[in-house]
């Protein structure tokens, strides 16, 4: 799966790969929804078991990184398992049309919502035609 | 002695090779094993872990984005049913999506419990997208200590 694809013009450039150099810990790629609104992009990621303290969202060199430490919440000895909770990690490349200083994040019911507003110059504008 | 059948031998060999390579190759990523993705194909949802200590069973279910208010738990002495709905984000036009990996919809899952539980004292808690149901064991299922008399 292509990891850093926010459908932008940057797709044909190859971003500097970070995937190979990260630590040996195990990660899961969380499923995300990305949709566009008039003001920007909304990213939603399922991060079950991640608390606010365990969540790390950062933007660096146009790279949006979502990382979460997931922890089991139930006590006791496991007798039957269908899933493991290991750390989440996913990266997306942003382009200059996202206003990186205004990104906001919200975590609710294990779902992270990120608001990526469009930069002013990227918003659609109507151009008045003067009749001379 | 059984008749010699080369095809059966080949079939057995093929199965053995399949087993040896299980978990490798594309589409068989390790994440398959830990997958919690709600997914598009019909499969068990939510995924659960079952845990136990001396007095209780615990069911931990992966339910990110499920409104706790929409969840319903019903119970009989040895069966727990979870149902609810994972709502999608409302009316977003399909063409507005760049990526849509999180599925939504209604779900029902029934879990058979290994022993009888005390239905009256079940507790459920929702935290960070995980549902934790505490099921106290019934009196009959609790371990009992038997002291040995010395005659």
Interior angle at CA B7, CA B6 and CA B10, nearest 5: 90
Question: What pLDDT was estimated at residue A93?
Answer: 92
Report the pLDDT value the prediction gives residue B131, as an integer from 0 to 100. Answer: 93
Return left, alpha or beta for B129; rule: phi > 0 is left, psi -120 to 50 is alpha, else beta.
left
B86 near B38, Cβ under 8 Å? yes
Sheet holding B48-52, edge to edge: A77-81, B48-52, B56-62, B130-136, B123-127
Tens of pLDDT along B22-48?
655 544 444 444 444 544 555 678 889
Q: Is-contact A37 B95, C-beta < 8 A?
A: no
Instruction: Provide the ipTM.
Output: 0.70
For residue B49, count other CB atoms closer than 10 A to its CB. 22
Dist CA A86 CA A84 (whole Å):
6
**Residue A81 domain flag:** yes
Q: Check residue A17 and give its pLDDT.
A: 46
Q: Which two tokens stand for residue B9?
A: 């031998």
Cβ of B64 within 8 Å of Cβ of A75? The answer is no
- Is A71 part of a structural domain of the chain? yes
* pLDDT single digits (tens) B81-140: 999 988 876 778 888 888 888 878 888 899 988 888 888 899 999 999 999 999 998 887
CA distance B130 to B136: 19
Residue A28 has pLDDT above 80, yes or no: yes
Distance from CA of A46 to the nearest CA of B (A): 6
Asked if residue A106 belongs to a domain, the reply is yes
Domain of residue A40: give its range: 33-120
B128 with A51: Cβ contact below 8 A: yes
Residue B149 domain-assigned (yes or no) = no
In chain A, how many domains are there?
Answer: 1
Residue B76 lies in a domain: yes
Is B91 part of any domain? yes
In a domain, A28, yes or no: no
Domain containing residue A43: CATH number: 2.60.40.790
Residue A25 maps to a domain: no
Is there a domain that residue A93 lies in? Answer: yes
B52 domain-assigned = yes
Q: Is residue A90 part of a domain?
A: yes
A39-to-A80, A102, B46, B84, B95 alpha-carbon distances in Å: 46, 12, 34, 32, 16
Contact check, Cβ <8 Å, A50/B37: no
Domain assignment of residue A14, yes or no? no
**Count of domains forming chain B:** 1
Name the residue range of residue B51's domain: 38-140
CATH of the domain at B77: 2.60.40.790
In angstroms, the CA A25 to CA B108 distance is 34
């Amino acid at each position: 799966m292509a990891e850093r694809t926010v459908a932008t013009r940057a797709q044909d450039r190859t971003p500097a790969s970070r995937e190979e150099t990260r630590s040996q810990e195990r990660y899961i790629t969380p499923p995300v929804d990305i949709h566009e609104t008039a003001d920007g992009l909304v990213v939603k990621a399922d991060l079950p078991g991640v608390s606010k303290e365990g969540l790390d969202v950062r933007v660096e060199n146009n790279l949006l990184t979502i990382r979460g430490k997931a922890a089991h919440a139930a006590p006791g000895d496991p007798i039957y398992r269908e899933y493991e909770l290991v750390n989440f990690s996913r990266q997306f490349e942003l382009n200059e049309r996202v206003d990186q200083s205004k990104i906001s994040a919200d975590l609710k019911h294990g779902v992270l919502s990120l608001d990526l507003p469009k930069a002013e110059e990227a918003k659609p504008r109507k151009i008045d035609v003067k009749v001379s | 002695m059984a008749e010699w059948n080369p095809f059966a031998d080949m079939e057995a060999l093929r199965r053995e090779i399949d087993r040896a390579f299980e978990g490798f190759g594309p589409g068989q990523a390790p994440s398959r094993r830990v997958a919690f993705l709600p997914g598009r194909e019909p499969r068990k949802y939510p995924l659960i872990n079952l845990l136990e200590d001396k007095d209780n069973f615990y069911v931990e279910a992966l339910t990110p984005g499920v409104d706790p208010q929409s969840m319903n738990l019903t119970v009989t002495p040895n069966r727990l049913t979870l149902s609810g709905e994972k709502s999608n984000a409302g009316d977003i036009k399909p063409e507005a999506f760049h990526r849509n990996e999180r599925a939504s919809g209604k779900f029902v899952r029934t879990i058979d419990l290994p022993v009888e539980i005390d239905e009256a004292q079940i507790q459920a808690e929702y935290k960070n997208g995980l549902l934790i149901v505490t099921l106290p064991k019934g009196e009959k299922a609790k371990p009992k200590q038997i002291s040995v008399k010395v005659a």
